[in-house]
Amino acid sequence: MSAESNLQSKSRILDETDNKGKRGKGTRNSPFSLLSEHTKNANAQTSEKIFKAYYVWPRFPSLSMSGSGCSLTCRHCDHKYLSCMKPVTTSAQLIETARQLEKEGAVGFLLSGGCAKDGTMLNLPNLLDGIKRVKKETNLIVKLHTGFVSREMAKQLVEAGVDVASMEMVGDAQTIKEIFNLDAAPEHYKETFKSLADAGMRHIVPHICVGLHYGELRGEFKALEMLKGVCKPSTLVMIVLRPTPGTDLENLKAPDAEAVAAVVKKAKEIFPGVEISLGCMRPRSGKVGSRISEVGSLLKSDFGGLMSDVENSVVTSHIPLQ
């Protein structure tokens, strides 16, 4: 069986399992546990310390709730990534898009977008009713980039039915100010994760950006330490600063694979038993991109496989950490 057909088969397993949970009276299966028996058996033969590398798959597209709008001019982004997302700026547009995605065989979608100057997501309050209807009327998984949220907003997200909440955790105040142009502190990120956990969000997926401070390690270890005790991540995702054409940081040297490996190892020390994943936002081309994608070899990997998962309906590489 080809890798593509293998993934499609496993995506059907995810759909069927999730649909049963949604339409039945029992508890829905965790999106993070929807693996094929083949993958489960393969994992059982390896160390429980698994590192996964994610690759974007079209059945889990990214949508922008703010269109191309963002009140921040982050130096590593400058609105460039919003242009790659389909705009859904009203509840009606979100519902229509979700229905169409389901018809086309999507597993779910990432709801992202631009931020207000205070770090909250633009237009999120206006889409809560739309999210709620999507969850009632479709079987799609909704993953949300939350931005900063209050305790009340966290409760509303849970009530709306958001399946997966994710946000970066940044551990250095200077990085937040200089890269995000945001007047905030690491404690603001920590408080958001606490609010989500206290509200009962089922799946919380913090992202750590390796090399966010001009390609250097600064605050990544502190970010991990700050998360400890605040929430238990369903998955902890490592993304890597990617110098992007048209941004202030386009000529920056990307972090090397050794830096990524160091942060991954630290994460495993702080969060034993929590799945650690290499996210899709990372350098892809050239020697740096190749080395980062092969970071598992630096961690004495000896196992590889395919599966589909909610993190972006993806192909993944499974690598045991020794």
Give me the domains of the chain, ranges plus CATH numbers: 37-320 (3.20.20.70)
- Sign (positive or negative) of CA dihedral 280, 243, 61, 120: positive
Q: Which residue do the tokens 């949220």 mark? A: 149
Instruction: Encode pLDDT of 242-274 as tens digits.
Output: 877 777 677 778 888 888 889 988 999 999 888
Q: CA-to-CA distance for 237 and 52, rounded, in angstroms?
A: 9
Lowest mean pLDDT among 61-75, 262-276, 305-319: 305-319
Q: CA-to-CA distance for 287 and 29, rounded, in angstroms?
A: 40
Q: CA-to-CA distance for 239 and 278, rounded, in angstroms?
A: 6
Instruction: Encode pLDDT of 203-236 as tens digits.
Output: 999 999 999 999 899 999 999 999 998 999 999 9
Q: CA-to-CA distance for 176 and 183, rounded, in angstroms?
A: 7
Q: How confident is the model at residue 57, as a pLDDT?
A: 56
Q: CA-to-CA distance for 241 and 48, rounded, in angstroms?
A: 28
Q: pTM score, two decimals?
A: 0.76
Residue scoring higher pLDDT (134 or 57): 134
Find, among 245, 272, 211, the residue nearest to 80 by Cα.
Answer: 245
Reduced to 3 states, what is the DSSP secondary structure of residue 109? strand
